[in-house]
């Protein structure tokens, strides 16, 4: 390929009119409200900015194959002696070329249902001090400066946003018959991503029903280049997830360095961890069985966060392991 | 007027500035000027227009509320490009996002399979090579300018461009 052809391809995509209009509207919307001092906008939960968007949480064949392998591969029922049992997970890094899709027995998806809960949170810019710290807004919606002067904030966060996020989580997990499994620390200190909880149900060609929930959380009040963020993926399973505890991460960059470790929460839940130093990202994976709560696999990925904070968050996962002997620590 | 929130030296200037946000006309002017170039950069990282929309919207909201004062338009353009790249990189950092096939919707922009394949290769290119490729071929920056933007030596930029071209199997042309 010639350089001119590369340039032609790179510069070919042009923003379509509908996207252009949505972005323009959102910018004007921000602008209009920024000028109205008595206009309370805060954390919009109306979905105004996103109502016209097509859902974009499509999952790749590869990702699906990972979980299909994990779920379909189990045939034996498991008799639980204690309520929750967690297992270690073998996390493998593979390139796309290394993955043999035939071997993964990927069945085609016949039917997909997708629902969202709690959409519309929008990160907004708030006033900072000299050190780049976000200034607090009091209950009346004012910033207070060092000299005692006050300034009405153009945006006032919704005081109910954390409760709303928790309720949305309850609804999303109830959709698959589970209790809310999101670490409670996140509801108290972070904000649900604007896409909300994404519930997805797929009926595969082999009649296996596959249900999962995606959610992301971000730092509350912050709006910086490198914010902390947390991505959660939960997959339910009708059968035990003890044996096929293996997931694949697709990474085609052979220069990345990964570190494997594990952490056991204060509640006794074993979390297998994979750290990607290059991207300042750590993914914890939890496989658990429970007769009362159901079986499932949960991935919690932390980006730009300290290990102490990650552990503090993991400790608030509402799962408690009673029988430590059930864990298979490598 | 550009609005600076985080780096003012005087608290009252913050207040003043917050009251006079960047004007509606100016933000739309900037948006019209840079939207396509930023979209082309974003789609080369993200591969679908929906994520691009989120990123570009966020970039311009940041311009409204968090941009420093720019001495020249070129500085502003570089700031916008840098923020766009940073946001795209943040997005694709996630393991989960990496597991997605990031080429949904490329058909909309590329009717020929060959072009779509090339774009898919560009999306899969490691970020350090891709950034230099995009700055050079989309924005048209020279090696010296890219080295300023990325705080790299010119030889490092040359190497990254060379490696990026090799991975994409691009032949150099004698451009005069």
**Number of structural domains chain A divides into:** 1
Dump pLDDT digits (tens) for A264-316: 999 999 999 988 887 788 989 898 988 888 888 898 999 888 999 999 999 99
Does A147 reside within a domain?
no
- B161: nearest CA partner in chain A: A3
What pLDDT does A53 receive? 21
What average pLDDT does range A109-120 have in this prediction?
A: 76
Distance from CA of A10 to the nearest CA of B (A): 6
What pLDDT does A325 receive? 41
Q: Which of chain A's residues have a Cβ under 8 Å away from the Cβ of B36?
A: 14-15
Does B120 reside within a domain?
no
CATH of the domain at B96: 1.10.1740
**Shortest CB distance from B118 goes to which of A9, A223, A280?**
A9
Distance from CA of B153 to the nearest CA of A (A): 21
**Shortest CB distance from A11 goes to which of B11, B101, B138?**
B138
Q: Sign (positive/negative) of CA torsion A79, A82, A86, A87? A: negative
Does B116 reside within a domain?
no
What average pLDDT does range A103-124 have in this prediction?
A: 66
Shared-domain flag, residues B59 and B100? yes
Does B26 reside within a domain?
yes
Shared-domain flag, residues B14 and B74? yes
What pLDDT does B86 receive? 86
Confidence label for A159 from pLDDT (cuts 50, 70 and 90): confident
Cβ separation B170–A124 shorter than 8 A: no
Greater confidence (A203 vs A258) lies with A258
Structural domain that includes position A314:
59-125+157-326
Distance from CA of B11 to the nearest CA of A (A): 7
Q: Please determine, for residue A119, whether its predicted confidence score (pLDDT) is greater than 70.
A: yes
What pLDDT does A204 receive? 65
Dump pLDDT digits (tens) for A130-154: 666 667 777 676 777 777 777 766 6
Structural domain that includes position B38:
1-110
Does B161 reside within a domain?
yes
Shared-domain flag, residues B89 and B134? no
Q: How many CB pairs under 8 A join A and B?
A: 191
Write the secondary structure of chain A as one string of H (helix), E (strand) and C (coil): CEHHHHHHHHCCCCCCHHHHHHHHHHHHHHHHHHCCCCCCCCCCCCCCCCCCCCCCCCCCHHHHHHHHHHHHCCCCCCCCCCCEEEECCEEEEECCCCCCCCCCCCCCEEEEEEEEECCCCCCCCCCECCCCCECCECCCCEEECCCCCEEECCCCCCCCHHHHHHHHHHHHHHHCCCCCCCCHHHHHHEEECCCCEEEEEEEECCCCEEEEEEEEEEECCCCCCCCCEEEEEEEEECCCCCCCCEEEEECCCCCCCEEEEEEECCCCCEEEEEEECCCCEEEEEEEEEECCCCEEEEEEEEECCCHHHHHHHHCCCCCCCCCHHHCCCC
**Number of structural domains chain B divides into:** 2
Shared-domain flag, residues B91 and B16? yes
Distance from CA of B109 to the nearest CA of A (A): 5
Shared-domain flag, residues B103 and B149? no
Q: In 3D, which of A7, A199, A31 has the Cα closest to residue B57?
A: A31
Other Cβ atoms less than 10 A from the Cβ of A16: the count is: 13
What letters, b where the CB count within 10 A reaches 16 and e where it falls short, cover B164-176? bbebbebeeeeee
Distance CA B25, CA A67 (A): 49
Mean per-residue pLDDT over chain A, rounded:
71
Q: Which of chain B's residues have a Cβ under 8 Å away from the Cβ of A229?
A: 90, 94
DSSP state of B171: B
Distance from CA of B65 to the nearest CA of A (A): 6
Greater confidence (A41 vs A262) lies with A262
The residues of chain B scoring below 70 in pLDDT are 1-23, 65-66, 93-105, 174-176
CA angle A173/A174/A180 to nearest 5° reads 45
Cβ separation A125–B57 shorter than 8 A: no
Q: Taking the complete model, does pTM exceed 0.80, yes or no?
A: no
Residues 32-61 of B with CB under 8 A from A: 35-36, 39-40, 43-44, 48-54, 56-58, 60-61
């Amino acid at each position: 390929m010639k350089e001119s052809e590369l340039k032609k391809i790179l510069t070919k995509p042009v923003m379509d009119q509908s996207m252009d209009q949505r972005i323009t509207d959102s910018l004007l919307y921000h602008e209009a409200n920024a000028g109205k001092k008595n206009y309370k906008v805060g954390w919009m939960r109306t979905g105004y900015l996103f109502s016209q968007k097509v859902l974009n949480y499509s999952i790749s064949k590869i990702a699906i194959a990972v979980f299909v392998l994990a779920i379909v591969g189990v045939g034996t029922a498991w008799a639980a002696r204690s309520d929750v049992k967690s297992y270690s997970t073998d996390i493998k890094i593979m390139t796309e070329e290394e993955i043999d899709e035939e071997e993964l027995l990927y069945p085609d998806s016949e039917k997909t249902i997708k629902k969202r809960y709690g959409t519309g949170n929008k990160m907004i810019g708030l006033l900072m001090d000299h050190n780049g710290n976000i200034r607090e807004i009091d209950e009346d919606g004012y910033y207070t400066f060092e000299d005692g002067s006050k300034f009405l904030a153009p945006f006032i966060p919704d005081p109910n946003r954390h409760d709303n996020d928790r309720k949305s989580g309850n609804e999303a997990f109830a959709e698959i018959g589970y209790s809310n499994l999101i670490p409670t620390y996140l509801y108290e200190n972070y904000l649900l991503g604007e896409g909300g909880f994404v519930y997805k149900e797929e009926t595969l060609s082999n009649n296996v029903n596959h249900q999962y929930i995606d959610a992301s959380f971000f730092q509350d009040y912050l709006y910086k280049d490198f914010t902390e963020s947390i991505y959660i993926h939960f997959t339910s399973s009708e059968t035990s997830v003890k044996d096929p505890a293996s997931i694949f991460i697709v990474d085609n960059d052979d220069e990345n360095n990964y570190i494997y470790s594990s952490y056991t929460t204060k509640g006794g839940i074993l979390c297998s961890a994979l750290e990607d130093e290059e991207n300042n990202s750590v993914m914890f994976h939890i496989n658990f069985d429970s007769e009362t709560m159901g079986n499932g696999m949960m991935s919690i990925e932390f980006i730009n966060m300290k290990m102490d904070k990650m552990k503090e968050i993991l400790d608030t996962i509402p799962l408690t392991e009673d029988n430590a002997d059930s864990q298979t620590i490598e | 007027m550009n609005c600076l929130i985080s780096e003012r030296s005087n608290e009252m200037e913050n207040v003043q500035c917050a009251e006079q946000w960047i004007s509606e006309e100016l933000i739309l002017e900037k948006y019209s000027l840079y939207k396509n170039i930023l979209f082309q950069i974003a789609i080369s990282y993200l591969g679908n227009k929906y994520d691009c929309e989120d990123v570009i919207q966020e970039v311009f909201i940041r311009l409204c509320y968090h941009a420093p004062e720019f001495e020249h338009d070129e500085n502003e353009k570089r700031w916008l490009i840098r923020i766009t790249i940073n946001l795209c990189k943040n997005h694709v950092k996630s393991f989960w996002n990496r597991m997605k096939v990031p080429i949904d919707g490329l058909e909309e922009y590329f009717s020929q399979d060959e072009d779509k394949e090339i774009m898919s290769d560009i999306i899969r290119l490691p970020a350090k090579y891709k950034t230099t490729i995009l700055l050079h071929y989309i924005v048209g920056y020279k090696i010296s300018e890219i080295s300023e933007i990325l705080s790299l030596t010119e030889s490092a930029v040359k190497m990254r461009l060379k490696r990026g071209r090799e991975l994409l199997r691009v032949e150099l042309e004698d451009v005069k």
